[in-house]
Amino acid sequence: MTNLASIFDLLITPFVDFAFMRRALVGSIALSIGACPIGVFLMLRRMSLVGDAMAHAILPGAALGYLFAGLSLGFMTAGGLIAGFVVALLAGLVTRVTVLKEDAALASFYLISLAGGVVLVSLRGSNVDLLHVLFGSVLALDDNTLMLLAVSTTVSLLSLAVLFRPLVLECVDPLFLRTVSKSGSLSHFGFLALVVLNLVAGFHALGTLLSVGLMMVPAFASRFWSSTLDGMIAIATLIGILSSGLGIVISYHAGTPTGPTIILSAGALYLLSILFGQKNGLILRLWPRKHLAA
Amino acid sequence: MTEGRAGFVQLNDVTLGYDRHPAVHHVSGLFEAGSLTAVIGPNGAGKSTLLKGIAGSIKPLSGSILTGSSAPRLAYLPQLAELDRDFPISVEDLIGTGFWQKIGSFRSYSRHDRQLIDVALEKVGLAGFNKRILGTLSGGQLQRVLFARLMVQDAELILIDEPFAAIDSKTVSDLMGLVRHWHDEGRTIIAVLHDMGLVAEFFPDCLLLARECVSWGPTSSVLTPDQLAKARTMIEANDPHADECERAA
Amino acid sequence: MLRLLTFCSLMGLFLGTPIYAAEPIPVVASFSIVGDIVSHIGGDRVSVDTLVGPEEDAHVFDPAPRDAARIAAAKLVVINGLGFEGWMDRLIKASGGAPKLTIASEGILSHQSTIDGHERIDPHAWQDVGNVRTYARNIADALIAIDPEGGGLYRANLSSYDDELAGLDQEIRAAISAIPTERRKIVTTHDAFGYFALTYGIEMVAPQGISTEAEASAKDVARIIRQVKSEKIPAIFLENVSDPRLAERIAAESGARIGGKLYSDALSKENAPAGTYIAMIKANIRELTKALMP
């Protein structure tokens, strides 16, 4: 009985006692629901590093917004979105029209964007406050930011539902998609737009660099638990939510910075998945079960 | 049975290529509606390129391609390499994408559609494989699944590019049976192949391509030793010093 | 009679000319607060060049080659001392000489405090107005030593400035005594108010972990909220370097007021309310009373 009570104390009481803990949890759960499915698609399309590249592309846009209007939710979000969309569009354009492939095109523009961001920041004088601000804080989610997260997740889920089939087909058999439909390009850009949206929403809570972690790491872990797309998406989202809760609670008891702790929790779950996952987990491979009769 | 004779393909002095170098050079001719034609030729002869042009994936450098009197439903099976076999999609869902031209990206499959998938799976000898994941299939099984998708697309014009590379002979003969069945249904079929035996056995018409048209017509007249020899001499690598083509457009 | 008058005016002109012909003495001050005091004492006889200007951060100041040139050209260099200008030794070496160096804080009673997590001598001695009276005396002595001719002016300026400072000190004590005793505490993210706290009796609570560099952990935030609630601390003061959103969240959940801007390490630019040292102290007092009066 005391064991249960102390577990409850450990895990639940902090959230009961403090509003900022509840907000942090709600915010990161909303983020997970929006971002983790996107992460699964990025992984399957071998675009796992694109999230990171896009995060760097978004940075100068948010920096511009901050330079223009300070810590304004609206301006920083708008700046980040615009920067992200512009980079995605330019990269897509260059891929389709020139000989450069997608990876080179994207890298070229995010690097240019990033360098531009550094120049902008240095023009301001001190870069200490700007970088710190761009780290975001999941512990400081005010009502407007929570609303933004909720809206972005909703938009993300709805868009994903709409784009689902073309997205899947574009991954599996892009040539086939091109022969039956003109929507291939549209769904591709739509998908990149969703990546940008989730990263921009994420940076208010976790900062640009860490929000990529919440998007991708649960997706990687889901690979070891399911072999169907739907299964992966569900499990990735679950792991994202779990990591959020764990990360916040650990940060509460151990005094570690919350954002990174969430990502580290996801990382721990990922490592556990590699070992113990039911599909291709290492333990299963080292000690395989008996094969089936048919 | 397809209605009307809509699935013809007319090539009007068409040149297709990459980076201004022609892979298909000034080819004219007609694939009649309902015909069953094999496209053969040496490596680099432009066969895949021709199919891509007919499918609309690439635009002609000059000349034009006319498919059907009104836009017929087109099914294109490219070479295997383009498919992502690691993607976690089931056989059923992959075949289901064949309904795209009918239901677009939102509408869900009807019960009738699901039955069609079952029938297709049976016809290709994979009954019961509905829930299997793509990555667990062998090469031959995957090819059967792709043919099942072709079936479900119910197209009037079917383009197939080297479908039997590294496929077991049982699968090949089963699938060729399916192709014959489509031909009996009146669909137009154009297939790129390198197995001359197969061509001689199954295909009434043949186009021998060596960048330019060497010979086009009934298989018996095309598949002769001197035609084949002629084709081999005509093929050459891209000439880096080639001038602009002077031939009349 | 006319000849006497002419003779006297000519003599007056002759005697007065050296004053108008004299160049102002170049003095280099390490940062804005010290520079302001030097200006008040030196008046027109000196031209003050400040290395770390208004609204700049002396902690992250990185001297440039031209700063070495300014020092080389100066007749007197005035620094705060107490370890505030960590870069000064390097700079003087680089300038190739040791012009007369005056430590403004010579002779004050310093104390140790926790700065950036380390126990150090607290250099922010100017937060106690009494110390600044010593600063002014030290600076006057130094100026008289290098420019005896200006002695009269310097002493006069010192006298009037000292009166102002004495009056300011009284003002502060009066304002604080008007605040009920139990309300004389604040949370501030800056660790620069040690001398103020000791001298004038306002308890400054530094939130651990919520600083400019480190990212906050849930544990720290919870701790601060608990502390503010249990000790009934009436106000939290924002420091514009760390994340203001977090301070807002803490204030919202603990019921404290958010205080305005407190100036700690630098003056503000001309047009803002803290353009001189005295104005700066007055601005701080205004904000403190506004936040702490019931």
Domain ranges for chain A = 7-284
C115 and C208 share one domain: no
Please indicate, yes or no, if residue C84 is contained in any of the structural domains. yes
At residue B28, the 3 state secondary structure works out as: strand
Does the beta-carbon distance from B84 to A172 stay under 8 Å? yes
pLDDT for the residue B1: 42
> Nearest CA of chain A to the CA of C9: how many Å?
54
Contact call for B97 and A44, based on CB within 8 A: no
pLDDT for residue C156: 93
User: Do B and A count as touching (3 or more CB pairs closer than 8 A)?
Assistant: yes
pLDDT of the residue at C97: 66
Poorest-pLDDT segment among A88-102, A106-120, A127-141, B201-215 = A127-141
Per-residue pLDDT at A18: 92
Do C147 and C234 fall within a single domain? Answer: no
Q: What are the residues of chain A with a beta carbon less than 8 Å away from any beta carbon of chain C?
A: 14, 17-21, 23-24, 71, 125-126, 128-129, 132-133, 135, 137, 139-142, 248-249, 251-261
Q: Do residues C133 and C57 share a domain?
A: yes
> How much is the pLDDT for A86?
92
Nearest to C243 among A140, A248, A252 (CB): A140
Question: CB A175 to CB B97 under 8 A?
Answer: no
Per-residue pLDDT of chain C (294 residues; tens, 9 = 90+): 777 776 666 666 655 555 555 688 889 999 999 999 999 998 888 999 898 888 888 878 888 888 888 888 888 889 888 888 888 888 887 777 667 788 888 888 888 776 666 778 888 899 999 999 999 999 999 999 888 988 899 999 999 999 999 999 999 999 999 999 888 988 876 678 888 988 999 888 876 555 545 567 888 888 888 888 888 888 888 664 356 778 788 888 988 888 888 888 888 887 778 888 999 999 999 989 988 888
For residue C219, give the nearest of A128, A133, A251 by CB distance.
A251
Query: Smallest Cβ distance to A140: which of C209, C217, C245?
Result: C245
Residues of chain B with pLDDT under 70: 1-5, 69-71, 80-81, 235-242, 247-249
Same domain, C65 and C103: yes
Length of chain A counted residue by residue: 294
> Within an 8 Å CB–CB cutoff, is residue A96 touching chain B?
no
Instruction: Tell me which chain C residues have a C-beta less than 8 angstroms from the C-beta of A18.
Output: 221-222, 225, 253
Parent domain of C103: 2-170
Shortest CA gap C54–chain A (Å): 13
Q: For residue A186, which phi and psi values (nearest 5 degrees)?
A: -60, -45
- Does C139 share its domain with C44? yes
Interface test with B, best of A172, A279, A280 (most B CBs within 10 A): A172
* HSE-up of residue B64 (Cα within 13 Å, Cβ side): 3
pLDDT at C82: 86
Let me know if residue C110 belongs to a domain: yes
- On the 0-12 / 13-18 / 19+ scale of CB atoms within 10 A, A271 is exposed
Chain mean pLDDT for chain A: 86
| CA-to-CA dists, residue B31 to A244, A283, B11, angstroms | 61, 58, 8
Q: Clarify whether residues C124 and C226 are in a common domain.
A: no
Q: What percent of chain A lies above the pLDDT cut of 70?
A: 95
Q: Which residue of C has its CA nearest to A22?
A: C218
| pLDDT tens track for B182-200 | 999 999 999 999 888 899 9
CB contacts of C214 in chain A (<8 Å) are 257
Assign A58 a pLDDT band (cuts: 50, 70, 90): confident
Closest CA to A17 of C229, C256, C232, C235: C229
Least CB–CB distance from B78: residue in A162, A166, A175:
A175
**Judgement on whether residues C229 and C260 belong to the same structural domain of the protein:** yes
pLDDT tens, residue by residue, C46-69: 999 898 888 888 878 888 888 888
Which residues of C have a CB under 8 Å from any CB of A? Answer: 56-57, 60, 209, 212-222, 225, 240-246, 248-250, 252-253
Q: Which residues does chain A have within 8 Å of residue C242's beta carbon, measured at their own beta carbons?
A: 132
What pLDDT is attached to residue B80?
Answer: 63
What is the per-residue pLDDT for C137?
92
- CATH code for position C38: 3.40.50.1980
Q: Of the candidates C114, C144, C170, which is a domain's last residue?
A: C170
| Rg, chain B, Cα only | 19
Q: Do both C112 and C198 map to the same domain?
A: no
- B with C: touching (≥3 Cβ pairs within 8 Å): no
One domain for residues C211 and C285: yes
Asked if residue C245 belongs to a domain, the reply is yes
Which of C107, C142, C170 is where one domain is finished? C170
Mutate to test the interface with B, among A163, A175, A182 (most CBs of B within 10 A): A175
Same domain assignment for residues C151 and C200: no
Q: Quick one: C12 and C95 in the same domain?
A: yes
Thinking of the domain A7-284, which architecture would CATH place it in? Orthogonal Bundle (1.10)
Contact yes or no for A228 and B90 at CB 8 A: yes
Instruction: Measure the CA–CA gap between B6 and B33, rounded to whole angstroms.
Output: 6
On whether both C246 and C133 belong to a single domain, the answer is no
Q: Which residues of A touch B134 (CB under 8 A)?
A: 172
Third-level CATH fold of B1-72+159-237: Rossmann fold (3.40.50)
Q: How far is A213 from chain B (nearest CA, A)?
A: 22
Q: How far apart are CA A63 and CA A56, in angstroms?
A: 11
CB contact under 8 A, C250 and A255: no
C-alpha–C-alpha distance, residues A203 and A1, integer Å: 41
Relative to beta strand C185-188, strand B205-210 is unpaired
Question: Per-domain residue ranges for chain B?
Answer: 1-72+159-237, 74-154
Instruction: Domain count for chain C, please give it.
Output: 2
% of residues, chain A, pLDDT over 90: 40
What is the reported pTM?
A: 0.75
DSSP string, C103-155: ETTTT----EEEETTEEEE---GGGSHHHHHHHHHHHHHHHHHH-GGGHHHHH
A8-27 average pLDDT score: 91
Other beta carbons within 10 Å of A119: 11
pLDDT number for residue B3: 47
**Which residues in chain B are closer than 8 Å to A172, comparing Cβ atoms?**
83-84, 87, 89, 94, 97, 134
Tens of pLDDT, residue by residue over A194-215, are: 999 999 888 887 887 778 999 9
B205: nearest Cα among B42, B48, B30: B30
Across the interface, do A257 and C244 touch by the CB < 8 Å criterion?
Answer: no
Residue in A with minimal Cα distance to C62: A126
Q: What integer is the mean pLDDT of A148-154?
A: 94
Residues of B in contact with A226 (CB under 8 A): 88
In the listed set C118, C141, C170, which residue is the last one of a domain according to the structure? C170
The subunits that touch chain A, with at least 3 C-beta pairs less than 8 Å apart, are: B, C
B/e letters for A129-140, b = 16+ CB within 10 Å, e = fewer, are bbebbbbbbbbb
